[in-house]
Amino acid sequence: MVRKPKNSSALAFACALLIQTSSGFAEEPGSFLPELVEIVAGDYQHRLSGEFLKDGYPVDAPKVDINFARPLQIMKYQVSNRDYARCFEDQVCGLPFKRKTVVADDKPVTGVSFIDARNYAAWLTQKTGVTWRLPSDAEWAYAAGSRFYDDALGGKDAASDPSERGLLKYQQTVDLGLGSDPVVKPRGAYGANEHGVYDQTGNVWEWTDTCYTRSKISAGGEIISSDSGNCGVRVVEGKHRSYMTFFIQDAKSGGCAVGRPPDYLGFRLVRDNPAFFSGQRMRNWWTSLTNG
């Protein structure tokens, strides 16, 4: 038989903690906590974003080893229209592209700029008391797992054959089958990857916090110089990697620095703060409360 806690305030606190979202966090009245996927810490070899030049000619970006020292907590789905509408109603987020009002359904919000995504992250941080932010390009790729598209072209260096990279880029576009996909699908329509993260290669590209950079590399492939980053242009990820001016809401209207323009622009966030209570720690706390 389970013993009752010694006082009613402790019981009320316990009940509040037991009102859990599927991501495992207590939800207070009026707050909104998204479903999360936690990806285990580990090592990852990442193809860098940006432009890389050897002897003044573009070449494939090098790969670097990245260590994720702690688990990555990322939204299971992209931020939805319903999620975003709450931020708009609080007069923090602006209207999406060509919208006169917001809609409240579970389809991914689209037509949002980097500024809109960053404002939403600040709003969600204030609402929930934990820190939310856009992922870096490397974090997004780590979460994408096997669905991350490596944009290396291979082949000869452009310095030895300037025409070859153009032909390889054309063939890459053909191989990807990047036809227009004009209909925004319901969440989950493109399925989950091996980590349980949904829709990362659908028709909604996602903003990251990574700035566009231009670097020079040596004959041996080492980075010898790099600019400080053009943060007026950010990396966006989806079926392929692209680059977008930070205030653009509609990729087709301009601002795409390379490659075929994304169909739509949306986003998902990562969570910085660890869970207050989870798993065994919560069970231990409840046992001590009821049996103390």
Q: Which structure tokens are listed for 52?
A: 């890389």
DSSP string, 191-211: -B-TTS-B-TTSSEEEEEEEE
Give the C-alpha separation, 187 to 276, whole Å.
Answer: 28
Residues 6+ apart with CB under 8 A from 132: 121, 124, 125, 269, 270, 271, 272
Q: What type of residue is 117? A: A
Q: Residue 163: pLDDT band by 50, 70, 90 thresholds?
A: low
Residue 4 has pLDDT above 80, yes or no: no
Give the C-alpha separation, 197 to 38, whole Å.
Answer: 9
Q: Residue 12: pLDDT band by 50, 70, 90 thresholds?
A: very low
Angle between helices 279-291 and 8-18 (to 10 degrees): 160
Residues 6+ apart with CB under 8 A from 203: 181, 182, 183, 184, 185, 238, 239, 262, 263, 264
Q: What type of residue is 285? A: W
Give the C-alpha separation, 89 to 66, whole Å.
Answer: 39
Tens digit of each residue's pLDDT (9 = 90 or more) over 97-148: 989 888 889 999 999 999 999 999 999 999 998 999 999 999 999 999 999 9
In order of 79, 135, 211, the CA distances from 187 in angstroms are 9, 19, 28
Q: Which run of H or of E encompasses 234? A: strand 230-237
* Half-sphere exposure at residue 273, Cβ-oriented, CA atoms within 13 angstroms: 11
pLDDT of residue 251: 85
User: What are the domain boundaries of the chain?
Assistant: 1-26+276-292, 35-274
Per the model's pLDDT, the better-predicted residue between 38 and 277 turns out to be: 38
Residue 9 has pLDDT above 50, yes or no: no
pTM summary value: 0.78
Class of the CATH-defined domain 35-274: alpha beta
Dihedrals phi, psi of 93, to nearest 5 degrees: -100, 145
Give the C-alpha separation, 103 to 36, whole Å.
Answer: 23
CA 68 from centre of chain = 16
